[in-house]
Amino acid sequence: MSFDEFSGAQGQAGAVEKHPRARGRGLTLEPHVCRSCFGRIASEPDQGGERRYFCTSCGLEAIGSKPSVVCSCGIKLRKAKGDGRTSVTLVDAGVRCHPNKQVSPEFPALFVASYGGAQAEGA
Ligand SMILES: [Zn+2]
Ligand SMILES: [Zn+2]
Q: Is residue 21 part of a domain?
A: no
Residues 48-53, mean pLDDT to the nearest whole number? 95
How many domains does the chain contain in total? Answer: 1
CA dist., res. 119 & res. 110, Å (int): 13
Residues 59-74, mean pLDDT to the nearest whole number? 96
CA of 67 relative to ligand 2 center, distance in Å: 6
Band (pLDDT 50/70/90 cuts) for residue 23 is very low
Q: Is residue 11 part of a domain?
A: no
Band (pLDDT 50/70/90 cuts) for residue 25 is low
Q: Is residue 40 part of a domain?
A: yes
CA of 118 relative to ligand 2 center, distance in Å: 14
Q: Which ligand is nearest to the CA of 62?
A: 1
CA of 18 relative to ligand 2 center, distance in Å: 16
CA of 83 relative to ligand 1 center, distance in Å: 35
For the cut 90, the answer to whether the pLDDT of residue 65 exceeds it is: yes
pTM: 0.69
CA dist., res. 111 & res. 100, Å (int): 5
